[in-house]
Structure 1
Amino acid sequence: MTTDKQSHWKEYRAAICATLIMVAAGNAIGWTSPTLPRLQEEDSPILITSSQSSWINSIMILSSTASALPAAYLADRFGRKSSMLLAAIPYIIGWIMIIFASTVNELYIARILPGLGYGVIYTIAPMYLGEISSDSVRGALAILITVMNKLGILLQYCIGPYVSMKALAGFNLSIPVLFFLTFVWLPESPYFYVTKDNIPPAMKALKRLRTTDNTSDEMKKIKTTVAEDMRNRGKFTDLVTDPSNRKALGITLVLFGTQQFCGSAAVISYAQQIFEQAGGKIKASEASIILGCVQLCAAASTVFLVDRVGRRPLLIISSLGVCVMNAVIGSYFFYKDYLKADMQSVGLLPVFGIVLYIVLYTIGLSTVPMAVTSEVFPTNVKSHATSVLQIFVGFTTFTVTKMYQVIADKFGNYVVFWIFAVCSFFGLVYIYFQLPETKGRSFSAIQHRLRHNRSVERDAEQQEQSF
């Protein structure tokens, strides 16, 4: 099968439609940046305190942990596509509630509901994209998850400061509706059909995803891979009892741990507030828009970089970069808030520092862990692994977003950013010494590599080339 990029347009079409729900997820994350400062103003329609603000921000991601495990069951029982369509419903209900909300408790509930959808899509979307894509574009398609998420965040930065909370919620309501209306026509994962021994619909789905009708060789490889993976039905315990699964789980836990504890969730959710506290020369709302634009462009560029440069180099550059920028931003707040130094001469430093932080974060830590997740786990435990990872990400993101406000209020912003710098450094060390490269490798070759069986890996690659 040809590896010409243009031959994969059907895969990109399916991936774009599938990841429209990620725009809805980005909307839910970015909504807090322009909305929370407004809700704390005296003329707010629902006046909130700083503590309530941190709960409104963090409770959505905390609720995502409740839906990750059910999502794994839904994906294996009813399919990846049907489960992702189901995830649109909590988003729709949540935004309708925000439109009509009049109390803080109603806002809490309205934030919990999208969190349930968030847990489902971040458990299942990596599976779906990994299973519909060819080896040569699998990394790029997986990164669309993050690209579309960043698009949703940017939309909130651009629209939120200039419209009412109800109007913003109305706009956000349209995104999951659009996702449902477009994705419902797309095919199910061929891998899912093969796991159910439904070969004719699997072949039909594969032909709809490829620009060639000659898919028999690829279907043969899919059946071989699924047969090997499903020989023993996957259980949650297989994630720790099987050596290759255990290594894959350890790698992905560290990647997502570094992704969260480098401070990304706090910077994105509190962007406008951070810019206001930094006292730069650019309006906070305008700085947030710049941040969102840069973030989206960086994520989009990673689509082209990940299958050329590789996963490992991008993660090393990203971890080192965010470590340095966290230290720089922390130092700025230390001089400004603790030493009370005059920072007018470097008034643009926090804007440039945070923008550069976002660029470095997005080209690696933000995007690549999702691609790695879609590659390193076999089919029989992939849903279990992604659900465990989503629970882990939910709790770590909640911890970062909730404790950021607490620590910043008590000790100062500089302490928070220095903590983020230390966490980034430890992640960098692990990635440098432990992370294998998965660029361009098939699922079977990656599994053999995780088992450290190089001769078997070469045999598997030779066998693939013979197809």
Structure 2
Amino acid sequence: MSISRKWREYVAALSATLITAAAGTTVGWTSPTLPILLAENSPIHTTADQSSWIVSIMILCSAASPIPAAYLADRIGTKKTLLLAAIPYIIGWILVMLAGNVPTIYVSRLISGIGYGIAYTTAPMYLGEIASDEVRGSMATLITVMSKFGILSQYCIGPYVSMMGLASFNIAIPILFVVTFSAMPESPYYFIKSGRNAEAEMSLKKLRGKDYIIEELDSMTTLVNENMKEKSRWKDLIRVGGNKKGLLILLGIYFTQQFCGSTAIISYAQQIFGAAEGGFGAKESCILLGAVQLLTSAISCQLVDRLGRKPLLLVSSCGVGLANIIIGAYFFMKHENSEYLVALRFIPIIVIPIFIFSYTIGLATVPFAITSEIFPTHIKSKATCVIQIFVALMTFAVTKLFQVVADNLGEYVAFWGFGLLSVAGVIFILILLPETKGQSFAAIQEKLYSPSEKVVFEKSEDHLGAVRINI
């Protein structure tokens, strides 16, 4: 299905994912800012330990957002919940503009973390519910494309402007999001769940245009009604075998996503390139890194619905594992003052972008597509909530511990650890992940429930299908 026929869906998706571009700015902001804060002539005197907290505390605070975000998404809709995410970002950047000490920066990062958690809990839900089956995967990857755009903006602008100038640029993104997304339709699934079928039809017409067919709305209604017959209970994430399997698969994928070292490399990019002494300047290397991220995420957006989720994740995990091992070997030789180091100074400038390419082509993008499609309607918000809390805690652990391990044991230990966990992720994905490319929600859910659970799937005639779970 061509993008030209789906332009309404893509406009809504691009507008929605401006909030993840704002999230990307909060992640990438530390790369050009920490060298300023750690310099001798720093405007705000900052220690190495404080710098690691500046990086990690935002992610830690984001763990508090998914439960309220999931609740609000069910009560007021995914659109309004996403709009609320802009408020913490705006407040956070105002505090950065006013900051005269480290505690103020801490507070700004804490508040921004609330918006981060809301955005990444709600955006996959919104995109998964407005998208047609044919483009659901590629639309979900826009979350990462826009996030990488936000990160690249920090690498390109941050080293050359003041903290005030960078914060002024960053605050414009959530404001632009509010202006554009306010005009976008709410998810038709939310209206159906609320019993507002006329508004659901209007929403679907806005999203589909000439492709609108009443049968799709009927199928959505049947699917939601059947799913909603099951009570949404937290314990069902573990008690129901299909839910438990889906949750386990996603937690394993997201664990690999974080413990391949991606967030650490992105957040500490300028410091890593500076320590590597790899030929290019650290600032220029970061811009190259950000460009690779953005271009690769755009490529992945096109491949996820063509090649499938599983192949991209396997290629991605293998690539980051190999890159981590090579980068670790380079830092080990640097630590040992190897005589071969001079001849190998090109390694960081080549291998770190290869790492980012490998990471972005699969691990950075595909998990969002799977998250948006793997759970039944009645349990989706709770599952997404658990996943985002898990991701926040894992990301916090990586960003906080990377600096500690690098300072006390050496960068090579951190990268070799990332490499080992990446290889474990390859094995996990190969064994447990089913392919979901181009399949309806009902067909995907059917794969997860074993016959022994006596799951009965009642599919509708439309491609969306409907599912009834009898346990």
TM-score where L is the length of structure 2? 0.96
* CA RMSD, 1 decimal: 1.8
Q: Is the 8 A contact 1:267 1:274 kept in 2?
A: yes
The residue identity in structure 2 corresponding to 1:293 is A
Deviation of the 1:347 alpha carbon: 1.0
**Following the alignment from structure 1 to structure 2, what is the Cα–Cα distance between the partners of residues 210 and 265?**
36
- Give the match for residue 234 of structure 2: 236
- 1:401 equivalent in alignment to 2:393: no
Say if 1:255 and 1:185 are closer, same or farther in 2 by CA, change over 3 A: same
> 5+ unaligned residues in a row in structure 1: which ranges?
none
Q: 2:188 aligned to 182, 187, 190, which one?
A: 190
TM-aligned CA deviation for residue 446 of structure 1 = 0.5
Distance 2:37 2:69 in 1: 33
What is the SS of the residue equivalent to 2:97? Answer: helix
Relative distance call for 1:27 and 1:464 in structure 2 (3 A) is closer
One of 353, 356, 363 as aligned partner of 2:354: 356
SS of residue matched to 1:129: helix
Aligned equivalents of 1:235, 1:82: Cα separation in 2: 24
CA contact (8 A) 1:445 1:457 kept: no
State the distance in 1 between where 2:455 and 2:69 align: 34
Give the Å deviation of 1:344: 1.5
Query: Is the alpha carbon distance of 1:201 and 1:461 closer, same or farther for their aligned partners in structure 2, counting shifts above 3 Å?
Result: closer
Whether the aligned pair in 2 keeps the contact of 1:146 and 1:367 (CA below 8 Å) is yes
Contact kept, 8 Å, 1:206 with 1:215, in 2: the verdict is no
- What CA distance in whole angstroms lies between the structure 1 residues aligned with 2:333 and 2:464? 59
* Alignment equivalent of 1:121, drawn from 119, 132, 139: 119
Q: Deviations over 1:399-428 (max 9, x none)?
A: 000000000000000000000011101110
Gaps spanning 5+ residues in structure 2: where? Answer: 467-471
2:25 to 9, 12, 27: 27
Alignment match of 1:320 (pick from 297, 318, 323): 318
For residue 52 of structure 1, what is the aligned residue in structure 2?
Answer: 50
Contact 1:445-1:461 at 8 Å conserved across structures = no
1:430 match: 428
Displacement after TM superposition at 1:464 (Å): 3.7
CA distance in 1, matches of 2:231, 2:464: 28
**For 1:175, which of 173, 176, 194 is the aligned residue?**
173
In the TM superposition, 1:359-398 aligns within 5 A as 359-398=357-396
Structure 1 distance, partners of 2:279, 2:463, is: 57
Residues in 2 aligned to 1:463 and 1:198: alpha-carbon distance in whole angstroms: 21
Structure 1 range deviating more: 100-109 or 341-350: 341-350
Partner of 2:76: 78
Distance in 1 of aligned mates of 2:116 and 2:263:
14
Q: Pairwise mapping of residues 86-235 of structure 1 onto structure 2 (< 5 A)?
A: 86-212=84-210, 214-235=212-233
Q: What is the alpha-carbon distance in structure 1 between the residues aligned to residue 265 and residue 383 of structure 2?
A: 27
Q: Which residue of 2 aligns with 1:266?
A: 264
Question: What is the deviation of 1:450?
Answer: 1.1
The 2-side partners of 1:426 and 1:154 are apart by 29
With over 3 angstroms needed to count, the CA separation of the structure-2 counterparts of 1:457 and 1:343, relative to structure 1, is farther
In 1: Cα distance, 2:420 partner to 2:460 partner = 40
Q: SS at 1:399's partner residue?
A: helix
User: 2-side partners of 1:71 and 1:458: how far apart?
Assistant: 30
Equivalent position amino acid for 2:70 in 1: A
| CA-to-aligned-CA distance 1:336-391 (integer Å, 9 cap, x gap) | 11354441211111111100000000000110011000010111111111111110
Judge conservation of contact 2:216–2:462 (CA < 8 Å) in 1. no
> What is the rounded CA distance, in whole Å, between the counterparts of 1:218 and 1:274 in structure 2?
50
8 Å CA contact retained: 2:273, 2:348: yes
The aligned residue for residue 469 of structure 2 is none
Q: Distance in 2 between matches of 1:418 and 1:307?
A: 32
Given that 1:20 and 1:175 are in contact with CA atoms closer than 8 Å, whether structure 2 keeps it comes out as yes
Contact 2:66 2:385 in 1 (8 A): yes
Counterpart of 1:436 in 2: which secondary structure? coil
Rounded Cα–Cα distance in structure 2 between residues aligned with 1:128 and 1:102: 38
Residues 298 and 457 (structure 1 numbering): CA distance in 2 closer, same or farther, change over 3 Å? Answer: farther
Conservation of the 8 A alpha-carbon contact between 1:449 and 1:457: no
Q: Give the TM-score of the pair, scaled to structure 1.
A: 0.97
Aligned residues: 465
Per the TM alignment, residue 197 of structure 1 is displaced from its structure 2 partner at its CA by 1.0
The alpha-carbon deviation at position 314 of structure 1 amounts to 0.2
Tell which deviates more after alignment, 180-189 or 205-214. Answer: 205-214
The letter of the residue matching 1:334 is F
Instruction: Please state if 1:256 is matched with 2:290.
Output: no
Per-residue CA deviations over 1:92-141 (Å, capped at 9, x if unaligned) read: 00000000100100000011111000000111100000000000000000
Secondary structure, aligned partner of 1:66: coil
- In the TM superposition, residue 466 of structure 1 has moved relative to its aligned partner by 10
1:194-240 deviation per Cα after TM superposition (whole angstroms, max 9, x unaligned): 11111000000000001226421100110111012111121111111
Confirm or deny that 1:37 pairs with 2:35: yes
Q: State the SS of the aligned residue for 2:155.
A: helix
Is the Cα contact below 8 Å between 2:263 and 2:399 reproduced in 1? yes
